[in-house]
């Protein structure tokens, strides 16, 4: 997308998304000693540094203030020799386009071999359920094409490349040094946890949801702290929060839990300043309670090992003893326990309480409780 088109998109999307709480970008600053980010309107680009080497993750918009904001962080564009691209959308590759400032013209870019088909023109990027084709991205940077599961080492930095298709056909996420996962546009953080990214921008929403399920299983199996960093809605190291609603889509038309941290207009950068960038670490996204009708939260546990009604009663008694709940029911045939409570429950404590009974929790899902009336039960 040309610089002119980027500016036009800024103006139009500002009007469309104003007050919708869709975009919640981090301001320019640092997450910790390794990870820094630059805010470009509603998007973030990231920098990972170790032992004097800095690599870049995504290249943002075709954005006039990029060098200025990199200067705030004491990062020299000329020092960037390697750029990981999650996907080819214009708010992730803009600084590489032919009519950009060409700050990174000597850098090698890394992307999946499937995603590269957009850049060659073999496949056109479509949004709004396939109704609109985005402009072809044109870049002259040298490319290195990646496969799912491939592990790179760039000057002592380990990079694991994981294919997570759905938003685009070749979308890739990058796990750096086994700790920092850069997810691009696969996950959207709402006030009550993570969802699959914005539905109208995906190539295939069902595929996106399946990909998130696979990604969650991959990360949980590692049994270690992982910092999940999104392209538009911040970061978190709470995997329960990150995947809270991974089977649901972020829809611009969907009513969501109000998020007091969301800016009214994500394209207003007046609060993104040099002083803040150099003084404060950027906080993690926290999940807010999401009460449903009557202020109740429904927590569903998938449990392995229940065999009979005595097993059900055993789990129910332990849950009631450990938590203040309105109702708890278990079903050995479904392999689940459903809990209604006035406030969200501590998920790690839940796992421990059930574990003490001799059973194991395999999945936890939290959502607002919606009490159904007679007609809803009859027809729903």
pLDDT digits (tens, 9 = 90+) for 42-101: 999 999 999 999 999 999 999 999 999 999 999 999 999 999 999 999 899 999 999 999
Residue 281 to residue 261: CA distance in whole angstroms: 16
Residue 28 to residue 38: CA distance in whole angstroms: 4
pLDDT band at 158 (very low <50, low <70, confident <90, very high): very high
Query: Residue 358: its pLDDT value, please?
Result: 92
pLDDT band at 289 (very low <50, low <70, confident <90, very high): low
Encode pLDDT of 180-228 as tens digits: 999 999 999 988 899 999 999 999 999 999 999 999 999 999 999 999 9
What Å distances lie between residue 15 and 7, 8, 65, 133, 264, CA to CA?
Answer: 13, 11, 21, 21, 11
Matching residue, tokens 């496969």: 147
Query: Residue 14: its pLDDT value, please?
Result: 79
Q: The tokens of 323 are what?
A: 């938590």
Domains (ranges, CATH) in the chain?
3-279 (3.60.15.10), 293-379 (3.30.70.100)
Please name the helix (run of DSSP H) or strand (run of DSSP E) that holds residue 195, with its range, or none: strand 193-198
Q: The tokens of 380 are what?
A: 């729903």
* 369 has a pLDDT exceeding 80: no
Q: Which residues share a beta bridge with 108?
A: 82, 142
Residue 136 to residue 127: CA distance in whole angstroms: 13
> Nearest CA to 151 among 133, 169, 172, 127?
172
Query: Residue 255: its pLDDT value, please?
Result: 56
Q: Pick 23 or 7 by higher pLDDT.
A: 23
Contact 98, 111 (CB under 8 A): no
pLDDT band at 293 (very low <50, low <70, confident <90, very high): very low
Half-sphere exposure of 102 (CA within 13 A, CB side): 8
Matching residue, tokens 């709940």: 325
**Mean pLDDT along residues 292-315:** 85
Secondary structure (3-state) at 18: coil
Regarding pTM above 0.85, the answer is no
């Amino acid at each position: 997308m040309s610089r002119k088109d980027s500016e036009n998109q800024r103006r139009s999307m500002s009007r469309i998304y104003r007050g919708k709480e869709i975009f919640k970008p981090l301001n320019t600053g640092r997450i910790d000693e390794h990870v820094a980010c630059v805010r470009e309107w509603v998007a973030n680009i990231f920098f990972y540094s170790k032992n004097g080497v800095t690599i870049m993750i995504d290249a943002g918009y075709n954005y006039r203030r990029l060098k200025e904001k990199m200067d705030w962080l004491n990062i020299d564009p000329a020092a960037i020799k390697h750029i990981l691209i999650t996907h080819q959308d214009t708010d992730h590759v803009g600084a590489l386009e032919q009519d950009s400032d060409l700050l990174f013209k000597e850098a090698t870019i890394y992307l999946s071999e499937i995603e590269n088909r957009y850049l060659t023109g073999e496949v056109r990027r479509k949004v709004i359920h396939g109704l609109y084709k985005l402009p072809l991205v044109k870049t002259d940077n040298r490319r290195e094409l990646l496969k799912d599961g491939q592990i790179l080492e760039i000057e002592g930095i380990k990079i694991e490349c994981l294919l997570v298709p759905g938003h685009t056909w070749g979308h890739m996420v990058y796990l750096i040094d086994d700790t920092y996962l850069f997810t691009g546009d696969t996950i959207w953080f709402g006030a009550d946890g993570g969802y699959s990214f914005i539905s109208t921008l995906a190539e295939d929403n069902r595929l996106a949801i399946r990909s998130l399920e696979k990604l969650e299983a991959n990360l949980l199996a590692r049994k270690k702290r992982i910092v999940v960093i999104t392209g538009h809605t911040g970061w978190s190291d709470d995997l329960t929060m990150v995947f809270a609603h991974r089977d649901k889509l972020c829809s611009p038309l969907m009513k969501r839990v109000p998020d007091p941290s969301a800016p009214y207009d994500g394209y207003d950068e007046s609060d993104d300043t040099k002083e803040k960038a150099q003084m404060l670490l950027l906080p993690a996204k926290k999940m807010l309670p999401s009460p449903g009708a009557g202020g109740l939260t429904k927590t569903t546990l998938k449990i392995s090992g229940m065999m009979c009604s005595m097993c059900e009663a055993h789990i129910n008694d332990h849950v009631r003893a450990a938590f203040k709940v309105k109702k708890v029911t278990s079903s050995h045939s479904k392999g689940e326990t459903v809990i209604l409570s006035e406030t969200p429950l501590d998920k790690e404590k839940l796992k421990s309480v059930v574990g003490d009974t001799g059973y194991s929790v395999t999945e936890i899902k939290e959502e607002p409780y919606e009490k159904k009336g007679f007609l809803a039960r009859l027809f729903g």
